[in-house]
Chain A
């Protein structure tokens, strides 16, 4: 198949797969039963979307099967954004990531709705009603935590501040973006989608007095609470870097001006947190080549 289109397809599929995988790690552990059910549902939606996208890629000749794409690639062949692979930490952190990811996904689905890649657009019409519930869920929690007791608000805003930089990188342009623009696969360039997303996030943050998370970067304040063998807590990185890289305020708006924190996910460069996730997710499949399950 067209390599450029495959890059796009895998970027979206891997985002959904890894996001669904991380949410599925919560199943059975969420300290609030109704939310356990909700996160499991969203996990299944995301993995279901990944499955449909991998199947499309396989149909177009990228691999013998969807499973071969999901479980049979090397870690550096996954094209998801680094944000998606970050370990779950606590509920506030997971909800912050859920909000940032699903609002971005909403913009992405909208930005590709007029794509010339018809098979992809067709899948999106199936995804969109489900994704709508994800953003409703994420926004409900956003306001509940941002407008909640002081501890909840603090934890949530710290989590947002630590994730914002890598969330921006969800829109890091694809390596083949130029040719995808030329043939109409991507009618809206990544940078433009990023602008739309930043506007929406800024509005949400402003309405709860949380705009500072766009100004000050912070490190995750909490280690990983969700027990899993792939759940090593994030190494504390460059603590001296206090600005969210790549965005600044111009003429009363937050805009993207620079590079991307956690850049390279779309080219297969991942953080130290992806290797254990990949190992756990693919080990059984890889250990029994040719077996059916």
Chain B
């Protein structure tokens, strides 16, 4: 069988809903696209720990300090699971980490922004994790079986995070005027990054990830799901959304939303987000200054006395 024939057969398998295992033959394009996608997901989990972890030392109660630490720990755990799955596709974890800290690979746009108040912790826990969960649920149908298994576990933990985030948000929305203002301000600042998170409206037929069934839903379908789940809840608690055009169009059966503009999004994608360089620089410093720690695991000869 020629490469083209095997590829056609592989594509037919995907279209029939069959799942791919790490040990199966796969076309180069599938392997590369899957690796790149999962690597970026893993990068996003480990970089996504940073904006939230800033508030572990500042958490205002013992209970919140504990739960925020556990929540961020989960995200780091997701990175660990995902890096291992990416490794099976042919790139070492060390190489992936090296590429990340040296700016050669990407992570999601929402993790390039600063966290300015406890309100941001609530918004991240509820709305950003909510947005992520919408996309992650769609990945449970992915064609790559090891990824699906990982996503089952990750989605279960993320559902818990969502409750944690919702609880934080409701506490602020029902709190003192200062707390409520803190939360509204955070929603206002994070709204564009959340819209950007789903990506620009794209042409599904041009999307290589959809073609191979690595992803199963388009950017716009996911954004619409997010609106349906979260916007009514925000309005219910009297929190506004900084998009004057946002409304549900019953006739069309979809949400109309105002274009937030995409210049900032593309800047962030290029690595020029407000916190991109700072966070990468810290992580690189940590990585480079602990090269000796990797030697401990590399089986270098031990010191003599």
Contacts and interface: CB of A to CB of B under 8 A. Distances in A.
B57 interface: yes
A280 interface: yes
Contact of A25 (B46, B56, B171, B301): B56
A202 interface: no
A134 B155 CA distance: 30
Nearest to A33: B80
B31 to A, nearest CB: 23
A91 B295 contact: no
A134 to B, nearest CB: 16
Interface stretch (B144-152, B205-213, B248-256, B286-294): B286-294
Interface string A214-243: 000000001001111010000000000000
Nearest to A17: B62
Contacts of A277: 57
B58 A51 contact: no
Given A33-B83, A40-B72, A291 B56 contact: no
B53 interface: yes
B224 interface: no
Interface in B63-96: 63-66, 69-70, 72-73, 75-77, 79-80, 83
A37 B118 contact: no
Contacts of B69: 24, 27, 40, 43-44, 47
Contacts of A152: 292-293, 295-296, 303
Given A44-B66, A48-B66, A292 B296 contact: no
B282 interface: yes
B53 A90 contact: no
B105 interface: no
Assign chain A's interface to a size class: 35 or more
B157 to A, nearest CB: 13
Contacts of A48: 66
B56 A149 contact: no
Interface string A122-160: 000000000000000000000011011111111100000
Interface string A69-92: 011000000000000000000110
Contacts of A291: 60, 175-176, 178-179
Interface in B172-188: 172, 175-176, 178-179
A144 B297 CA distance: 9
A275 interface: no
A54 B73 contact: no
A66 B292 contact: no
A96 interface: no
Contact of A27 (B73, B79, B292, B297): B73
Interface in A249-287: 277, 280-281, 283-285
Contacts of A50: 62
Nearest to B301: A149
Assign chain B's interface to a size class: 35 or more
Nearest to B75: A28
B84 to A, nearest CB: 10
Contacts of B301: 149
Contacts of B231: none
B171 A149 contact: no
Given A44-B66, A71-B60, A288 B293 contact: no
B178 A284 contact: no
B285 interface: yes
Contacts of A280: 57-58
Nearest to A284: B60
A5 interface: no
Contacts of B52: 28
A43 B62 CA distance: 12
Nearest to A70: B62
B300 interface: yes
Contacts of B57: 21, 24-25, 228, 230, 277, 280-281
Contact of A24 (B65, B83, B300): B65
A37 B172 CA distance: 29
B19 interface: no
Nearest to B304: A150
A169 to B, nearest CB: 24
A144 B296 contact: yes
A67 interface: yes
Given A41-B73, A149-B302, A24 B296 contact: no
The 5 A-B pairs of least Cβ separation, nearest first, read: A28-B49, A40-B73, A150-B303, A28-B53, A149-B300
Given A47-B62, A228-B57, A277-B57, 17 more contacts: A24-B69, A28-B52, A28-B76, A31-B293, A36-B73, A37-B76, A40-B72, A43-B69, A44-B66, A47-B69, A54-B62, A67-B60, A91-B290, A91-B293, A149-B301, A155-B292, A285-B60
20 contacts: A24-B69, A27-B69, A28-B46, A28-B49, A28-B76, A29-B53, A31-B286, A34-B80, A40-B69, A67-B60, A91-B293, A150-B302, A152-B292, A152-B293, A155-B292, A225-B289, A281-B57, A285-B60, A291-B175, A292-B171
Interface of B: 46, 49-50, 52-54, 56-66, 69-70, 72-73, 75-77, 79-80, 83, 118, 168, 171-172, 175-176, 178-179, 282-283, 285-287, 289-290, 292-297, 300-303, 305
